[in-house]
Amino acid sequence: MGRMINLTIDGKKVNVAENTTIIKAADEIGIKIPSLCYHEDLIPTSGCGVCVVEIEGSDMPKRACSTTVYEGMNVKTNSIQLRNLRKMLIELILADHHVDCPTCIANNKCELQDLAYYMGVKTEDIASLMKKEPVDDSSVSIVRDPNKCIACGRCVTVCNEIQTVYALTHVNRGFDVEINTPFSKGMADSICINCGQCAVYCPTAALTEKIETDQVWTELLNPAKHVVIQAAPAVRVTLGEEFGMEEGSLTVGKMYAAFRRLGFDAIFDTNFTADLTIMEEGTEFVTRFKEGGTLPLITSCSPGWVKFMETYYSDLADNVSTCKSPQQMFGALVKTLYAKEKNITPESITSVSIMPCTAKKFEARRSEMNDSGYQDVDYVLTTREIARMIKEAGIDFKHLEDEKADDLMGIYTGAGTIFGATGGVMEAALRSAYYLITGKNLPDCEIKAVRGMEGIKEAVVDVDGIKVKIAVAHSLGHARKLMDKIRKQIEETGKSDYHFIEVMACPGGCVGGGGQPFGSSLATRARRGETLYKEDKGLKLRFSHENPAVAALYEKFLGSPGSEIAHNLLHTHYFHRDKLEGKVVKEATYKNH
Amino acid sequence: MDFYSLAEYKAILGSGAILVMDNSVNIADMLESIIRFFRHESCGKCMPCSNGNEMLYRSIKAIKRGEADESELDKMVIIAETMHKTSFCALGQSLLLVVKSAIENFKDDFLTYLRNRKAVNN
């Protein structure tokens, strides 16, 4: 901790560490300085100028986002001059922004709209500088609309600094500056790994998910279709936010009720296949650990991470678990086991998943994800998309009575639910791995060392005298650091001292996914994660191996974890991808040796 | 001639270059040329400069076509003032001097020019 600085903001005294910016100092005493390109989680780009404040002794206003405090500083955050400047800046931004608020995906959640509305800016008085450009909808996950882009640079910062993916960059100069992919090839032909963090941080709707709600409505309203839904762990703690409920509200019962009212024929839960993933992955880990297989084992639930690995670390593909993600395990089972149980043809089934994620849209469309003989998961909706459908249907989400999921694939344990938070998969896997090795349950099943928002979390877990070294990384920047370390260890000594690694592409894990409600921060994500841990604590079943529905599935259909049919339906393989366009070059691992 | 003595006349020395013009120069042409230069030099990092320059360029173009009135000139000064106070670097900050002094010192020339253009248009 450095020196402390005393300053005055709007007549209020505040004491902050040196090098604090004015905007952060103001935030500490509850003063919110209007800002647009600034986001508390990101290095300021200082682009828009909206956050200017007056500093005594300085004849020019200064940006609060990037000006640091000094002793005795006296700051004014509002004045006639500042209001006029901010209004003019918002007008200049709106002049080059496609204003279609009523139908815009970010309507009521747009930071530009908010500022214009609060300041009373009139759009009809503003001369347009717009040059209509084509929307880039080449990607199956992310749509980029340059007409709504205000070139604030947040997406570039998050893509390059936090995710280290480098799929977005500034192109051109001056007024022609825009955000694009390298060589402007379009999102589909870029190294974008579809994590959608750009969309979560975008203050407007210049970057959004590829909307699939119309297709899902068409399926729902078609009486010949049997539409099955699954919802990911992290959706139950964020859906409420879209309906004005407190951040981190657990809405699992209301969520099922809403799905039923929307007309889904079977309401299931991805948490069920999260438990199944643990059975498969836990077994895979124990087998590798006991039989001297490739270690560390690295998790494979996060499709953003998987594509990142295929692009930058495909030399480590053998270390990555062959398990499919819970979404894809579910998809493979719906059109096989479930179709058989219900005696319906797989062709008449539409499999829809609700995900906190934009990369899941890409994952569902990977060509190898068709082990049922069909595309295993037909449509993937984000939390934001399903919220819009619920609103369109006029469902009063907040006041819905809790309902239950349907049997067969709707029962889950606490281990399944914590998948949604960083460290959750590791914790759930260790709970079951411990059981698989020792035949007993962990005395204290809460592995606190892997919880929380620290970028890379490491621990050594004692499994009946055997020391298991684990690490958890969230955000791909941290994953990159960890993978570089592992790669170096393997290069230098032939092996790594880690045994088990969890990687989630998004900061905070799936609770911070690219499909989650707009306007979040790392602090919001932490709160959502805490709710998942609370749910886990309150559940009677907290070990995946105790899930009766999973046990029944093995008994009736799959045999045992890692069996031939389990291998065929629940496991996958990986590719090498080129570092320019992210395209498949060749196989990196093989499903059938 | 130095920075301080020129400042008294609300002029800047800049890089030391002096542009000499006689009465035959049209002030609207001069302003367009200078705005075009700044618009071209704007890097695009900060919005007040990039969008501000573009807006000023459209305004001076509209004036030159005779498709504007006096209020366009006032608007240009407000935009340039906003750029002056909120641009990140000296490029966006310094255009104000040109815009403001041209419009304030040669207002009549601009108005005459606008009247003539409109007459031609009609």
Same-domain check for residues A396 and A325: yes
User: Is A59 an interface residue toward B (CB < 8 Å)?
Assistant: no
Chain B environment of A112 (Cβ under 8 Å): none
Question: Mind listing the pLDDT tens digit of every residue in chain B (122 residues)?
Answer: 677 887 787 766 666 777 888 989 999 999 999 999 999 999 999 999 999 999 999 999 999 999 999 999 999 999 999 999 999 999 999 999 999 999 999 999 999 999 999 999 88
Q: Per the domain annotation, does A257 fall within a domain?
A: yes
CATH number of the domain that residue A269 is part of:
3.40.50.1780
User: Is A580 an interface residue toward B (CB < 8 Å)?
Assistant: no
What's chain A's average pLDDT? 95
CATH number of the domain that residue A204 is part of:
3.30.70.20
Same-domain check for residues A507 and A566: yes
pLDDT tens for A480-532 read: 999 999 999 999 999 999 999 999 999 999 999 999 999 889 999 999 999 99
Same-domain check for residues A387 and A514: yes
Q: Per the domain annotation, does A107 fall within a domain?
A: yes
> With 60 as the cut, is the pLDDT of residue A593 above it?
no
CB contact under 8 A, B82 and A95: no
Whether A539 contacts A271, CB under 8 Å: no
Q: How confident is the model at residue A1 (pLDDT cuts 50, 70, 90)?
A: low
Same-domain check for residues A205 and A220: no
Whether A285 contacts A439, CB under 8 Å: no
User: Is A173 an interface residue toward B (CB < 8 Å)?
Assistant: yes
Q: Per the domain annotation, does A592 fall within a domain?
A: no
User: Is A176 an interface residue toward B (CB < 8 Å)?
Assistant: yes
Q: Per the domain annotation, does A593 fall within a domain?
A: no
Nearest Cβ partner for B58 among A37, A63, A127: A127
Same-domain check for residues A484 and A360: yes
> Which of A184, A209, A234 is a domain's end point?
A209
- Work out how many CB contacts closer than 8 A connect A with B: 87
Which residues numbered 17-46 in B keep a CB inside 8 Å of some CB on A? Answer: 39-46
Same-domain check for residues A166 and A285: no
Q: How far apart are CA A73 and CA A87, in angstroms?
A: 26
User: Is B58 an interface residue toward A (CB < 8 Å)?
Assistant: yes
Whether A355 contacts A221, CB under 8 Å: no
CB under 8 Å to B87, separation ≥6 — which residues?
A: A49, B46, B48, B49, B52, B93
CATH number of the domain that residue A61 is part of:
3.10.20.740
User: Is B78 an interface residue toward A (CB < 8 Å)?
Assistant: yes
Q: Would you name the residues of A annotated as active-site residues? A: 281, 284, 301, 321, 360, 363, 368, 510
Position A576 scores a pLDDT of: 97
Position A94 scores a pLDDT of: 97
Q: How far apart are CA B56 and CA B82, in angstroms?
A: 12
Q: Per the domain annotation, does A436 fall within a domain?
A: yes
Q: Give chain B's domains with CATH numbers.
A: 25-121 (1.20.1440.230)
> With 60 as the cut, is the pLDDT of residue A354 above it?
yes
> Which of A175, A209, A243 is a domain's end point?
A209
DSSP string, A33-55: ---SS--TTS-----S-TTEEEE
Q: Per the domain annotation, does A367 fall within a domain?
A: yes
How close A35 gets to chain B, by Cα (Å)? Answer: 13
> With 70 as the cut, is the pLDDT of residue A585 above it?
yes
Same-domain check for residues A428 and A449: yes
What ipTM was estimated for this complex?
0.92
CB contact under 8 A, B51 and A176: no
Position B4 scores a pLDDT of: 81
How close A519 gets to chain B, by Cα (Å)? Answer: 22
Chain A environment of B88 (Cβ under 8 Å): 46, 49, 63
- Here the tokens at position A465 are 């005298």
Q: Per the domain annotation, does A83 fall within a domain?
A: no
Same-domain check for residues A151 and A220: no
Which residues numbered 141-170 in A keep a CB inside 8 Å of some CB on B? Answer: 150-152, 170
pTM (global) more than 0.90 = yes
Same-domain check for residues A238 and A152: no
> Which of A188, A209, A230 is a domain's end point?
A209
Same-domain check for residues A237 and A378: yes
Q: Per the domain annotation, does A583 fall within a domain?
A: yes
Same-domain check for residues A221 and A144: no
Same-domain check for residues A158 and A300: no
Q: How confident is the model at residue A274 (pLDDT cuts 50, 70, 90)?
A: very high
CB contact under 8 A, A175 and B51: yes
Grouping H, G, I as helix, E, B as strand and the rest as coil, residue A456 is strand
Instruction: Work out how many domains chain A is built from and give that number.
Output: 3
Chain A environment of B53 (Cβ under 8 Å): 174-175
**Residue A50 domain boundaries:** 4-78
